[in-house]
Amino acid sequence: MSALLEVRGLTVAYGAIEAVRDISFVVETGQIVCLIGANGAGKTTTLRTISGLLRPRAGDILFDGQSIANQPAHAILGAGVAHCPEGRRLFARMTVEENLLLGAYTRTDDGVTTDVQRVYDLFPVLGERRHNKAGLFSGGEQQMLAIGRAMMSRPRLLMLDEPSMGLSPIMTQKIFDTLADLKAQGTTILLVEQNALAALALCDRGYVVDLGRTTLEGPGHELLADHRVRAAYLGEG
């Protein structure tokens, strides 16, 4: 196994506030890795820095062995990292189809139409209302569209920030099944989740982020069994 993404000693600050302090983790090719942690732990900040929306104060980010820490966001997407952001961030005044086509913005191959259809097959409600404005959909439906849009660039690494937020248990299950399918098709996934139970059950490796640092790490099933994780994130103890 080789590391597709390696985050080394990453520190990110908003002005004087250091939201991420010396965080390090590795995502191996073909794995699903998840970051769990309390509100404000710095998970979103970490993802936004990997995708180039924020600049690190210290540390490095290697994708496929190359540093991407100071690349512009559009170049990082071009290198193969897609980011499905927290809170969906759809283009609300554009249609479902336009949102999906924007996800494929950098692609020049002729498989885009097929991939749009694949998203519709996966989430039929999107296909039925493909010409409706994205802002008119329910929260869960918007989340499906956001994930579909992120898949449209055919990323090598797909980063998802709380994809189950606001979804019913059935939809959450469907999203997690979809992630498992994507993994089976060879996509590497970095997942940030509040739903620690489902995320740890799915992932190959998990990291617990607390106050901007990784405090625990290990295979998902081991973390699931860890009493500290159970106490802090699964409401036990």
Partner 1 sequence: MVTLLQQLVNGIVLGGLLAFITLGYTMVYGIIQLINFAHGEVFMVGSYAALATYLWALPSGIQSTWYLALPIVILAGAAFSVLVAVIMERFAYRPLRNAPRLAPLITALGISVFLQEAVRNFFPDGTRPKAFPEVFPEGQLTFLGVTVPASGLLLVVMAIILTGALQLYVNTSKLGRAMRATAQDPDTARLMGINPDRVIVLTFILGAALAGVGGVLYGVHYDNINITIGFQNGIFAFTAAVLGGIGSLRGAVVGAFCIGLIKTLAGQYMPGGTAYDYVWIFVILILVLVFRPQGFFGETERVRA
Site residues for partner 1 per CB under 8 A: 51-53, 72-74, 77-78, 82-83, 85, 89, 91-94, 98, 101-103, 105-106, 149, 153
Q: What number of other Cβ atoms are within 10 A of residue 117's Cβ?
A: 12
CB of 17 to ligand ATP, least distance (A): 5
Rg, Å, the chain Cα set: 17
Least Å distance between CB 11 and ligand ATP? 12
40: partner contacted, choices Mg ion, ligand ATP, partner 1, none (Cβ within 5-8 A by kind): ligand ATP
Which is closer to partner 1, CB of 49 or CB of 214?
A: 49
State the binding partner of 70 from Mg ion, partner 1, ligand ATP, none, CB within 5 to 8 A by kind: none
Six token digits for residue 98: 């336009």
| Phi, psi at 119, each rounded to 5° | -65, -40
- Nearest to ligand ATP of 43, 149 (CB atom): 43
CA distances from 8 to 26, 41, 50, 58, 77 (A): 8, 17, 11, 9, 20
Based on CB atoms, which residue is closest to partner 1, 30 or 80?
Answer: 80
- Report 69-88 residues binding Mg ion (CB under 5 A): 86
CB of 59 to partner 1, least distance (A): 21
- Phi/psi zone of residue 114: left (φ > 0), alpha (ψ -120 to 50 degrees), beta? alpha
**CB-based burial, 183-195: b 16+ in 10 Å, e otherwise:** beeebbbbbbbeb
Question: What is the contact surface with ligand ATP in residues (CB under 6 A)?
Answer: 14, 17, 19, 37, 39-45, 86
